[in-house]
Amino acid sequence: MAGFVVALVLLYLAPVVLPISEYLHNIVGLTFMFMAAALAWNWLGGFVGQISFGHSAMFGVGGFVAVRVTLALELPFLVAWLIGGLLAGVYALLWGHPTLRLRGPYFSIATIGVGEATRLIATYWSGFTGGSSGLSLPLAENPTKYELYWYGLYLLAAAVAISYWLRRSRIGLGLLAIKEDVEAAGDVGVNATLYQDVVLFLSGTVVGVCGGFYASYQAFIDPQDMFSFDRSIGFILMAVIGGIATVLGPIWGAIVFVIIQEFLLANYSELYLGLYGVLLILIILFEPQGITGLAQRLRRRIRRPARPPAVAATAERSTV
């Protein structure tokens, strides 16, 4: 944790003391948002073991509510993000409370339906979302991309703090029990329904705030982008690439995701989802814990003390 705090301080100071290009500055700020969203997805998909394909629904709800609140009430964008996030969390509970009774692939299939249904409703609800025309934010009421770098960093810091709290708290222990066996967890006094609802609300709220951030970053949003199935797949890929169920793994996954996405969208826009699929298969086959698992394996190999020559010779003779 201390190392991460040092990294946050360095990232906070980097644009001030280093000659960073405007393009890199903007991309890094957007990457902070993806990191926070991946961490939030991981609370449900990693800590609880309920793989959700519907988190784009909360991302879109948070984004559109934030835009509408900004346009109608002229509230500060931070307040608009928070309102959008809270309503996204409530929306997550509306569909999540009954569907969390399902486990494994049944829950995942249900979340696909929720995500697609939300996308269709948002597309046809043109009075709220603007339909296929989308919504635009006036630049005067929007923070600049230069300023969003630091707001993205604050959002990431909050997501990391919640991740550490969930992992180390009593709720975190309950989540581990639920992930292993929900019925056995209930037998020992873990309120599985309450714990899962709390995590889903937190996950939906943070993803919704990320949707508000994204709306401010783009200054224009439309339902096909905000509620797209690709968006949900992206959250899953970031967590899996970095290390699902780990505290900081999704951060590394988000970095890899954004780098590949920026390169492929600029050169091979039709191939990027296929490459992500291949990458996902390779990770599941050879390193289920992703980048975090690979780093831990390399660390153990480096720290493993070399056997003295006499011991090594004895071991060789014993095997012969």
- pLDDT for residue 318: 43
- pLDDT for residue 265: 65
Q: Where are the domains of the chain?
A: 9-319
Q: Render pLDDT for 18-46 as a digit per residue (tens, 0 to 9).
A: 888 888 888 999 999 999 999 999 999 99
**pTM of the predicted structure, to 2 decimals:** 0.89
Residues of the chain with pLDDT under 70: 1, 140-141, 264-270, 272-273, 305-320
Q: Are 261 and 160 in contact (CB under 8 A)?
A: no
Q: What CATH number labels 9-319?
A: 1.10.3470
Backbone angles phi and psi of 50, in degrees to 5: -100, 100
Looking at this protein, which amino acid is placed at residue 1? M
Place of tokens 């951030």: 213
- pLDDT for residue 308: 53
- pLDDT for residue 63: 95
| Cα–chain center distance at 230 | 13
- pLDDT for residue 250: 92
